[in-house]
Amino acid sequence: MKVLVIGGGGREHALVWTLARDSRKPRIFCAPGNAGTAELATNLNVGAEDVPAIVEWARVNRPDLTVVGPEAPLCAGLVDALEKEGLRVFGPSRAAAQMEGSKVFAKEIMTAAGVPTAQSSTFTEVAPALAFVRSVGAPIVIKAEGLAAGKGVTVCTTVAEAERAVRESLEDKAFGEAGARILVEEFLDGEEASILALSDGAHVVMLASAQDHKRIFDGDQGPNTGGMGAYSPAPVVTAEILPVIEREVFGRTLAELRKRGITYKGVLYAGIMMTRNGPKVLEFNCRFGDPETQVILPRLAGDLIPALEACIDGTLRPELVTYKPESCVCVVMAAGGYPGTYRKGQEIHGLAEAARVKDAVVFHAGTKLQEGRVLTAGGRVLGVTALGKGLKDAVAQAYAAVDKITFDGASFRKDIAAKAFKGK
Ligand code: AMP
Ligand code: GLY
């Protein structure tokens, strides 16, 4: 069996690592991959957003399964293009990927379906947006409609800040076309969790809960990042809440999409705020989360490929996804300066030693191989991950592995998963 994985970050290394352990022992190709995927797969010199080049490679090489990691190629219609070639692809169509590609579309679906979410209004003009912001007051949230590399959301604690965010998006075009329409949204208070679900369009299987750490510094301080670490399970998502999320979030959303003729196939990721009034959706993503995937996939007890294929075939069943009893923690090691400007090309030492730490695995994110050396090649460099009997044990093992790794300017949070022990 031949499997093609699209993307080159920590999520894709975790996907490749999981697929490589599948009992069907597939030959794996990764476009473009990184130094970590190179150990388990053949990296292709094809960018994750280069749809024509991916389609061309797939047309010639006929992978039995393609798994698409990032949102950009999904929103650009990569799945539709590959399916046109008669190929089997895990991931939503362009129409379905609008759940992430357009926050206005996602909100429309949620409102029509009665999915619990923040109240919001949509604007294209500055004056009415500002008037609305002033009438509601702070705190308030301003969101660019489209894909903005994680920078399109501003949580504002003052009206002045919100006014600036409105102008930045609508007037200064800080996010280009992606910010030509904005949502002005009610601020939701609570603890966040990520709930990812597999979907074949009709059936949903929620994956184990996880929590990300979006801010760069300990104690959730400093600017937002792509995610500085994650853990699974997230105790804030209790066993009582899970069926509510399944029914009110995933059930209602997929039913509404079906009503509109859209079959959602792939991962639907709900960012959820656990508020005093129950879970409410902050946003949807049309893909696996990064770094959530790094803590969910190592917990799987069985093969992943049958579950992915069932999503394509419309035969998804809960029995296809089973877990080990262990918890999992991922600590992201980033380049100094990230999420601002940072240097690339620093040599990474200690990877082999880290991999020898019990139950630890180092997922590469921004790395590349050069003459046998592993160099940094991005902001988030590594996702140092470990399983443990409980979260505390997993935290200890993950940080034991982090301690073995060095590169110039390396930075990481020291409090990954600490929230899970709050008050315990
Ligand atoms: P995103 O970049 O779309 O992942 O969203 C960034 C972050 O903004 C989320 O993870 C939340 O922490 C925060 N956020 C988004 N919407 C709201 C909201 N309505 N209330 C409070 N925080 C929000
Ligand atoms: N961990 C956040 C994301 O994947 O969008």
Domain at 400, CATH number: 3.90.600.10
Assess if residue 393 is contained within a domain: yes
Work out whether strand 153-156 and strand 140-144 pair parallel, antiparallel, or are unpaired. antiparallel
Atom of ligand 1 nearest to the CA of 120: 19
* Number of domains within the chain: 4
Assess if residue 111 is contained within a domain: no
Whether residue 413 sits in one domain with residue 301: no
18: domain CATH number is: 3.40.50.20
**pLDDT tens for each residue of the chain, 424 residues long:** 999 999 999 999 999 999 999 999 999 999 999 999 999 999 999 999 999 999 999 999 999 999 999 999 999 999 999 999 999 999 999 999 999 999 999 999 999 999 999 999 999 999 999 999 999 999 999 999 999 887 899 999 999 999 999 999 999 999 999 999 999 999 999 999 999 999 999 999 999 999 999 999 999 999 889 999 999 999 999 999 999 999 999 999 999 999 999 999 999 999 999 999 999 999 999 999 999 999 999 999 999 999 999 999 999 999 999 999 999 999 999 999 999 999 999 999 999 999 999 999 999 999 999 999 999 999 999 999 999 999 999 999 999 999 999 999 999 999 999 999 886 6
Q: Ligand 2, residues 290, 297, 380: which to mutate, most atoms within 8 A of Cβ?
A: 290
Whether residue 89 sits in one domain with residue 22: yes
Residue 206: how many other CB atoms lie within 10 Å: 21
Is residue 292 lining ligand 2, measured as CB closer than 6 Å?
A: yes
Compute the CA torsion angle 285, 109, 184, 282 (nearest 10 deg). -40
Angle at 66 between CA 65 and CA 71, to 5 degrees: 155
Q: Please state the three-class secondary structure of 361-377 as a single string.
A: EEEECCEEEECCEEEEC
Assess if residue 84 is contained within a domain: yes
Whether residue 218 sits in one domain with residue 163: no
CA distance 149 to 319: 35
CA distance 395 to 262: 41
Whether residue 285 sits in one domain with residue 201: yes
Assess if residue 88 is contained within a domain: yes
Task: Give the domain range for residue 307.
Answer: 191-320
Is residue 290 lining ligand 2, measured as CB closer than 6 Å?
A: yes
Whether residue 173 sits in one domain with residue 214: no
Whether residue 141 sits in one domain with residue 23: no
Assess if residue 186 is contained within a domain: no
Whether residue 137 sits in one domain with residue 84: no
Among 342, 341, 116, 395, residue whose Cα is nearest residue 232: 395
Query: What is the dihedral sign for C-alpha 78, 169, 129, 273?
Result: positive
203: domain CATH number is: 3.30.470.20
CA distance 406 to 352: 12
Q: Where are the beta strands (DSSP E) in 277-412?
A: 278-285, 327-334, 360-364, 367-370, 373-376, 380-388
Give the ligand whose atoms come closest to the C-alpha of residue 292.
2
Could you give the C-alpha distances from 278 to 167, 238, 265, 274, 337, in angstroms and in order? 33, 11, 27, 6, 37
Backbone angles phi, psi at 300, to 5 degrees: -65, 135
Whether residue 206 sits in one domain with residue 173: no
Compute the CA torsion angle 219, 224, 227, 233 (nearest 10 deg). 50
Q: What is the pTM of this model?
A: 0.96
Give the ligand whose atoms come closest to the C-alpha of residue 223.
1
